[in-house]
Amino acid sequence: MTALHEQMQIVAAARRRRDDAMAYLAAVVDQWEATVGFPLRATVKSLVADCSEVEILLRDMTLAAYRETGSKHPAPGVDVRLVQQLDYDPAIAQLWGYEHGVCLRLDPRAFEKLAKAMPLDFVTITEVPVATIAGDLDKVLKDMGIEEAE
């Protein structure tokens, strides 16, 4: 047996263990939901959606504050970073890559990295503000003397 075959066995075993654990967890949740009568999965799904919704609003508000003040740090815990956005015709980029021996098929990630380092006349680069939120907002708010909200 080759090392490749041995690694295939290791991966197959790891996947079986993972799948068994996930099946066990699903069964436990099913049993818990049936016993307690509380829809845990639906509740978690709803909470995830709620969290995403309020995070989007906070990012929008952060970008609005950035546009008003120009500050990349409009408040502790939220920041704005400027990222480069490239605008180009993928067909022209693919033709350029083929002509320069860089690619036969366009790899956008590699092409954009190259286009940032070597300006091309058919590529427009603009900086776009992107809002970021601190991972531990509770700590930021506590440091600011703001109490937890429900």
Name the band, by pLDDT with cuts 50, 70 and 90, for residue 30: very high
pTM more than 0.85: no
Q: Render the burial of 6-30: b for 16+ CB within 10 Å, e for the rest.
A: eeeeeeeeeeeeeeeeeeeeeeeee
Q: What pLDDT does residue 106 have?
A: 85
According to the model, what pLDDT value does residue 117 have? 93
pLDDT in tens, 4-17: 778 888 888 999 99
- Is 80 exceeded by the pLDDT of residue 140? yes
